Structure 1
């Protein structure tokens, strides 16, 4: 069964979506939509300036939205009205909680799955960590630390070459970037009970925060720390492969993620390491996680496989994000 897909957006990150769809067997791209029609035409698919014009030529099975948050609600509603079978929407999901709830409820009322394109949990290193946790290889888990070190935040030209709108975002580090690890920490450890946060702006040319520490408390005393600084880097030939380094620590073993994408497990009391995931040159973005998420959606439509990152579930990520900002503003721990 061939599935058809239309993508809304032809900007910087949308290109990862287009390329990944072209590598999934049995998927036929039938439209790319962007108000910059010449830019859309460069993708090589049938190009349209609006969703309405694209849908008039054919309604796709999948609508993949890769445009800024303020466009999401209208695009989701247009897809629902047209009768697509499933919608994927990039993060940040909609322009605030009110719109995110409205989009979620509209999709549920229509009986059409709405998936948030939160792809970091689909990176291969986190899938390997999850498998080790489920196999009990770490013993009693105590803590998870991720050190975000993108190295792209220094100076007056920070972010201008790739995603210039980063400079104008009043909420930046957590809302645009750290939210990936809010979801990933949930994927690995479950839902946190509380958060504490210390956020700061270090580059005066940007509007929002670009460094900080966020501490998450989980049931049973487990802790997770997001230690983030976009000015500093980590040992990697490509900082945007893993975006930093991680350690997942338990009483029986410690798992380490390095900047080359390799994952290693060291048993407690030992210096030897077991390679859980060797480093390699992944295609696409950050361990080919865009492709992995899209393949996950295709498996649902073809085989009925359960979906991750439904819009309803993702509302919890947005609630935790809001709690992080409240914690930073008040200096007080926020119960979730």
Structure 2
């Protein structure tokens, strides 16, 4: 790591700077690179993309060859925001270049077998590999988890999320932002629903069974764009994902929360609104009261990208435990596979512990 310093009052204290390089400059990468340039003790120095003009648009060093970038710059952190089919090779390049940590976007490596090989490679090299699964870092889910842990909701028996982005109608669906959505053979769960596979695990822990009912509504899209999945828990609790990309919900920015969430316990209920605010209602009460105001940040998902990246920086600099490490993240991918199996077979799938 490169030495750096920061002035605090009249004192000068030495702090390490993490040198960061990114791979990929597609649509979502803008949120990564904006966040890196706002995080203390980090220096984003370069981005590589096969389209050099896109890499240059980030405003830092630009390369069209990630191997050359990593070899020449030897960054501490490599942030991989390239397509899933490139992930394994980029992880291998980062390890070979001596990266101290790697962050990789989802869908992680595209398939479970390749993801497992990437995990083994990183473990052999003793390099932390973190999946950029950022929805659990949205401020409303962090607060909901705090409320569950406090016991104020009693025993939580139901979590429901209604995905309603409203962007999936018509022959031109997704063309203006992420056109590759249209060609994915597995879409709703693999690209979008995996966020709530992870979020439900974050809030309620490990399910014992899963069930899915999936369908395609827009013929212009190859994969499924609507459906349900249910997590079953041994205590009788259930988590329901009700997704439909053609329908919308009441929000000025429908991509902020992507829908609405309800968390119901024996002691009360929390509701996530489309503006990112939270309301709570005690059991037996007729009225809702505010629990948390909408986030001030207008960045994607309540600035969850920066929250995840700050979490990784804190882990590297201060030894804090890292969430979303790739080895345990494979559980999300196994659950996703079980959900597709459930949809194909039309029955509930029991999960191994």
Whether TM-score is above 0.5 comes out as yes
Match of 1:20 in 2: 35
State the Cα distance separating 1:272 from its structure 2 match: 3.5
Match of 1:269 in 2: 284
Separation in 2, partners of 1:84, 1:56: 10
Match for residue 54 of structure 1 among 34, 48, 69: 69
**Conserved 8 A contact 1:153-1:159:** yes
Match of 2:149 in 1: 134
How many residues in Structure 1 have an aligned counterpart in Structure 2? 336
Q: Compute the TM-score of the two structures, normalised by the length of structure 2.
A: 0.94
Match of 2:10 in 1: none
Deviation by residue 1:97-154 (Cα, 9 ceiling, x = unmatched): 1100000000000000000000000000000000001100110111000000010000
Match of 1:152 in 2: 167
Deviation by residue 1:192-232 (Cα, 9 ceiling, x = unmatched): 11111110000001100000011110120110100000000
Deviation by residue 1:215-273 (Cα, 9 ceiling, x = unmatched): 11012011010000000000000010000001000011100000000011110111343
State the Cα distance separating 1:280 from its structure 2 match: 3.4
Separation in 2, partners of 1:5, 1:216: 37
Match of 2:307 in 1: 292
| 1:73 matched to 2:88 | yes
Match of 2:117 in 1: 102
Runs of 4+ in 1 over 4 A off after TM superposition: none
**Conserved 8 A contact 1:128-1:276:** no
Q: Compute the TM-score of the two structures, normalised by the length of structure 1.
A: 0.99
Unaligned runs of at least 5 residues, structure 2: 1-15
Separation in 1, partners of 2:23, 2:52: 12
Separation in 2, partners of 1:75, 1:135: 41
Unaligned runs of at least 5 residues, structure 1: none
Separation in 2, partners of 1:95, 1:56: 25
Question: Secondary structure at 2:210's aligned position in 1?
Answer: strand
Greater shift, 47-56 or 100-109, is seen at: 47-56
| 1:187 matched to 2:187 | no
**Conserved 8 A contact 2:276-2:293:** yes
State the Cα distance separating 1:276 from its structure 2 match: 2.4
Match of 1:92 in 2: 107
Separation in 1, partners of 2:304, 2:65: 28
**Conserved 8 A contact 1:148-1:244:** yes
Match of 1:10 in 2: 25
Match for residue 175 of structure 1 among 181, 184, 190: 190
Question: Secondary structure at 1:219's aligned position in 2?
Answer: coil
Q: Cα RMSD between the aligned structures?
A: 0.8
Question: Secondary structure at 1:324's aligned position in 2?
Answer: helix
Greater shift, 273-282 or 197-206, is seen at: 273-282
Separation in 1, partners of 2:70, 2:103: 16
